[in-house]
Amino acid sequence: MRAFVLTAPGEASVQEVPAPVAVPGEVVVDVERVGVCGTDVEFFTGEMAYLHEGHSAYPMRLGHEWAGTVSAVGDGVDPSWLGRRVMGDTMLGDRTCRACRRGSQHVCARRQEVGIRGGRPGALAEQLAVPAWSLHPLPDPVDAVLGALVEPGGNALRAAQAAGVGPGDRALVLGPGTIGLLTAMSCARPAPRCT
């Protein structure tokens, strides 16, 4: 399959790489859309701290904001995932440590991050393998472009919620990137009513 592979700072190419296989507990996704964010740019320039801390190394395949359709399931995975449109978590904790048990897999010391940390290839390819437990189904009205924005949108929403911005409040959002713009949108919207 074809994949965009970053081989060194400022050096990348589309390469033929082995297609992923759905190992036990995982699925293979046919990738439809991928977002590129500031983290990816830092890897491209060589400035990403993970490179200097030993959490990541070239060559690598970026792509942690993605959407696609499940095309294969491994042993132990519910076959109803086949054919479903999905996106998935970026942070894949070990699911056993205290942080993971509290729902804070993003601070798990042994986490992998899709396309970022721990050697797990990202979605800048025709296919991607991820744990089934990391998937989130996309409702029919959500197209693949919006599906790829769920990950940065979640970060933006958490930032707005953490700031405690409410109706009538003013908020200053620094940064014109995707997450900055989505944070501004999250701050501008009134809280939804849930019943």
Tens place of pLDDT for every residue, the chain, 195 residues? 999 999 999 999 999 999 999 999 999 999 999 999 999 999 999 999 999 999 999 999 999 999 999 999 999 999 999 999 999 999 999 999 999 999 999 999 999 999 999 999 999 999 999 999 999 999 999 999 999 999 998 888 888 888 888 777 888 888 888 888 888 888 877 655 443
Q: Are 81 and 135 contacting, i.e. CB atoms less than 8 angstroms apart?
A: yes
Predicted pLDDT of residue 93:
95
Q: How many separate domains does the chain show?
A: 2
Query: Do 153 and 134 lie in a common domain?
Result: no
Nearest to 172 by CA among 188, 190, 150: 188
The answer to whether the predicted template modeling score (pTM) of the entire model surpasses 0.85 is: yes
- In 3D, which of 17, 123, 5, 109 has the Cα closest to residue 58? 5
- How big is the CA angle at 56 (ends 12 and 47), to the nearest 5 degrees? 65
Note whether 126 and 163 are same-domain residues: no
Q: Which amino acid is at 115?
A: G
pLDDT digits (tens, 9 = 90+) for 69-100: 999 999 999 999 999 999 999 999 999 999 99
Mean pLDDT rounded to a whole number for the chain: 93
Report the DSSP beta bridge partners of residue 11.
8
Is residue 147 within 8 Å of 158, Cβ to Cβ?
no
Which positions ≥6 away from 161 have C-beta within 8 Å? 186
What's the pLDDT score for residue 190? 62
- The CATH number that applies at residue 64 is 3.90.180.10
The pLDDT of residue 184 is 86
Residue 118 domain boundaries: 2-140
